[in-house]
């Protein structure tokens, strides 16, 4: 199951800075980002989706995701 699908099942939407649904590209061998969240068109002030990734020697990515 995709990360955003799990959010949607729980009535949560990942959004961009302008409040529209998140649609972006995450790239690079290593990185991290935080994405704002909404429930019922209301921004959640005290929670964000955190994504961290690392490309391993095998060429596969390790991805850590949590809501903080």
What's the confidence (pLDDT) of residue 1?
63
DSSP notation for 15-64: E-TTSSBP-----SSEEEEEEEEEETTEEEEEEEEEEEEEE-TTSPEEEE
Contact criterion met (CB below 8 Å) for 64 and 45: no
- pLDDT < 70 positions in the chain: 1
Query: Taking the model in full, what pTM does it have?
Result: 0.86
What's the confidence (pLDDT) of residue 68?
93
Other beta carbons within 10 angstroms of residue 55's beta carbon come to: 13
């Amino acid at each position: 199951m995709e990360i955003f699908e799990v959010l949607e099942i729980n009535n949560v939407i990942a959004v961009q800075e302008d409040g529209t649904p998140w649609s972006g590209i995450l790239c690079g061998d290593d990185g991290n980002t935080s994405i704002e969240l909404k429930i019922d068109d209301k921004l959640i002030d005290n929670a964000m989706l955190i994504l961290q990734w690392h490309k391993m020697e095998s060429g596969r990515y390790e991805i850590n995701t949590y809501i903080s």
